[in-house]
Amino acid sequence: MKILIVEDEVKLTQALEFLFNKQKIDVEIANDGEEGLMLAEKDIYDVIVLDIMLPNISGLEIVRIIREKGIKTPVIMLTAKDTLDDKVLGLDSGADDYLVKPFATKELIARVRALGRRKNTEYINEKYEFNDIAYLPKNFELIIRGINVKIPKKEGDLLEMLISRPGQVFTRDQIVDRLWGLESDVLENNIEIYIHHLRKRLEETNTKIETIRGVGYIIKER
């Protein structure tokens, strides 16, 4: 699981990062609203933990903007505001959960895991389908004409990213961030290798992965 924490209390974010890492959960940190929005818009996270009171852009504004852009990443709001009206406002803005400060870290971790599972249940026992192909993310299986072929995890993760949103262009930065992490020094050639392998697999189908020069990749009908 990969999560984004947007919170301006640096000591709190450091503590949360340590605790989540112990639970084998990867964490990216933003300490102000502007950076938080920029990262959230990358759409590479399983869950976003979002403070409401932030410098530059509020958490409420962040969740409103990403929802308008069609980003469905589950969001849990962290805030000192504990009235019913505050909770309703947070949930109405597009958040999925709401936790009042001070909170127990075990509860936050449990809620993050629950939101992550909720996102995954959309497809964990199902499959992505586009045109004449399908993909089973749980087993890394590509289905072409009723034949299931198991593919490597990274190749599968890339295919899942593309097939989950047909017609959307994914930039090379988005792909690197999702598959290898923000701090990765992975070479662009790595992406080209996986794209090449996927194209070979799709040669006899009516589906293709197209390169948008200078931008990234898109899956579409051939």
5-28 tens-digit pLDDT: 999 999 989 999 999 988 888 899
In angstroms, rounded to a whole number, what is the distance separating the alpha carbons of residues 20 and 94?
A: 24
Q: What is the pLDDT of residue 116?
A: 80
**Residues 6 or more apart whose Cβ sits within 8 Å of residue 116:** 1, 3, 46, 47, 74
Which residues are 3's β-sheet partners? 27, 47
Q: Are 60 and 93 in contact (CB under 8 A)?
A: yes
Task: Give the Cβ contact number of residue 142 at 10 Å.
Answer: 21
Start-to-end CA span in the chain (Å): 33
Q: Are 25 and 45 in contact (CB under 8 A)?
A: no
Quick one: 14 exposed, middle or buried, by C-beta within 10 A (0-12, 13-18, 19+)? exposed
Comparing 2-120 with 128-221, is the CATH topology the same? no
- Give the model's pLDDT for residue 121: 47
Quick one: how far is CA 128 from the chain centroid? Answer: 16
SS3 helix, strand, coil % of the chain, rounded to 5? 40, 25, 35
Q: Which fold has domain 2-120?
A: Rossmann fold (3.40.50)
The rounded radius of gyration (Å) of the Cα atoms in the chain is 19
Domain 128-221, classified CATH 1.10.10.10, yes or no:
yes
Q: How far apart are CA 5 and CA 124, in angstroms?
A: 25
Structure tokens at 10: 């640096």
**pLDDT at residue 209, as a whole number:** 96
pLDDT, mean of residues 128-148: 90
Residue 123: band (very low, low, confident or very high) from pLDDT cuts 50, 70, 90? very low
In the chain, where the domains are located: 2-120, 128-221
* Concatenated DSSP letters of 25-42: -EEEEESSHHHHHHHHTT
